[in-house]
Amino acid sequence: MGAASNHVDAIEGYKWDVFISYRRREPVRSWVHEHFYKRLYEWLPEKMVREPTIFIDEQIETGAPWRDELRNALQTSRFLVAVWSPSYFRSAWCTAEWHTMLAREKQLALGAHTTPKGLIYPIVFDSKELFPATAATIQYRDFSPWNINFSGFEATEHYGHFIREIQQVAMELGALILQAPSWDPAWPVEMPSPDSIQSVSLPRLR
């Protein structure tokens, strides 16, 4: 699978339409890479009038300053697709990515009566009853019935339902991307402190 285009929007400064935020450990990691991202990459272009750009951490080249790369990708992304699981909210990296978009929403005063209503598109991977109260107020799409992370998932009867859900996500994201606010270089980006990530797995590089 080829990486998404690195074309920079010369007017707004955006580089990515979607930033995929997820806990980089099993079982979430393999599900995101082998199923969710793979199928979203296929279907999002079919729901838009132009080619979309999707950032996922595997696009960071080996040897690149990954902390700077993640910061730049987050700052130049229109929307955050956050794959939520209980371990997501225990990760310094994941919560920093989430809080970055929450801060941007607050700065833009986005809410129920604005377009778009928000910049975070949550995907529930598992156990939403264990999420913090701050997440409970955000509308999400529940993928927990299809959170199977082994390769044989594609051969099961459930995969067709999974694809239908991906198509719905792609359609909604395609519409949201067109509503993204103008880019602002002053938007804050939260990065975890070195002390907070000592026991956190770093992004896997390829």
Higher pLDDT, 103 or 12: 103
Instruction: Give kind and range of the element (H or E) at residue 121.
Output: strand 120-124
Reply yes or no on whether the pLDDT at 201 is more than 70: no
The whole-model pTM stands at 0.86
Question: Taking every pair of C-alpha atoms in the chain, what is the biggest distance, in angstroms?
Answer: 47
Confirm or reject CATH 3.40.50.10140 for domain 25-189, answering yes or no: yes
Residue 115 phi, psi dihedral angles, 5° rounding: -130, 115
Range scoring the smallest mean pLDDT among 59-73, 129-143, 149-163? 59-73
Of 31, 27, 139, 138, the C-alpha closest to 87 is 27
Kindly report, residue by residue over 63-97, the tens digit of the pLDDT.
566 788 899 999 999 999 999 999 999 999 999 99
Residue extents of the structural domains in the chain: 25-189
- 18 three-class SS: strand
pLDDT class of 2 with cuts at 50, 70, 90:
very low
Share of the chain above pLDDT 90, in %: 75
